[in-house]
Amino acid sequence: MIARLQPDKRIPEKLRETYAHLAGNVMWTYGALEELTFLFSTSENVHLLNETAPAFFVRHQGLLINDIALSLSRMTDEKQSGSRKNPQENLTLARLLDLPDAQCQQLRTELKKRWARISDAAKQLRTYRHKRLAHSDLAHHLSPSTKLGADISIRSMKKLLDQISDFLSTFDCFFTGVETTSYSPPASYGDADDLIAYLKLAIETENKAKNEVLKLPTKRPRGLAS
């Protein structure tokens, strides 16, 4: 379930729900990115995952990467896609450029600058989404040496997400006067750090049980008393 940020009523009603959805999606994506980084960025964690359920965690890693890529692509799409006769209306950052009146001209100028940088940075990711995730591009799927997505990394996705966060924070601050808006996901029980803790406990318990079974007596037992 995508987290949803409760929008401030000072934000224009026309854009309030759009902002709430996008902000919630950013929170969700930060959470997925933090989980991906935490689970797979250290050799200690990777060793632990390989010791417990390697096939499951290989799939989980791929699903997290794809989920983050899809989320970033959707937020940075154009407002409309598809044919001109039957366009698909998209809920994207570009929707927040449709500000209600001339009083928002300064904000519109600032957001357009940020949108231009975001749109440019997201081009490769959206191409990857289009050819690998949304559709199975024949040439790239059958090619043994495709370079599609070769320059997409956790670092580049984090940088793009930070740019999106700055875009939304700038929008929010203009209406609310709050200069710093955090889109970090709230801490909750059962996150990746809890999983790692329980996996460590499981390994320790298993090793202890094995040692108890293999423990041999150190002295020769005496005979029964007559």
Instruction: Please say if the pLDDT value at position 148 is more than 60.
Output: yes
The pTM of the full predicted model, rounded to 2 decimals, is 0.85
pLDDT, residue 46, reads 95
Q: pLDDT tens, 93-131?
A: 999 999 977 778 999 999 999 999 999 999 999 998 988
Q: pLDDT tens, 59-81?
A: 999 999 999 999 999 999 999 88
pLDDT band for position 221 (50/70/90)? low
Work out the percent of the chain whose per-residue pLDDT is above 70: 91
pLDDT band for position 142 (50/70/90)? confident
The domain limits of the chain are: 13-185
Please, are residues 92 and 76 in contact by the beta-carbon 8 Å criterion? Answer: yes
Residues 140, 55, 145, CA angle at the centre, nearest 5°?
20
Please, are residues 172 and 178 in contact by the beta-carbon 8 Å criterion? Answer: yes
Instruction: Please say if the pLDDT value at position 32 is more than 50.
Output: yes
Q: How far is CA 152 from CA 3, 28, 64, 123, 138, in A?
A: 25, 20, 14, 11, 20
Please, are residues 74 and 67 in contact by the beta-carbon 8 Å criterion? Answer: no
Q: Note the maximum CA span of the chain.
A: 107
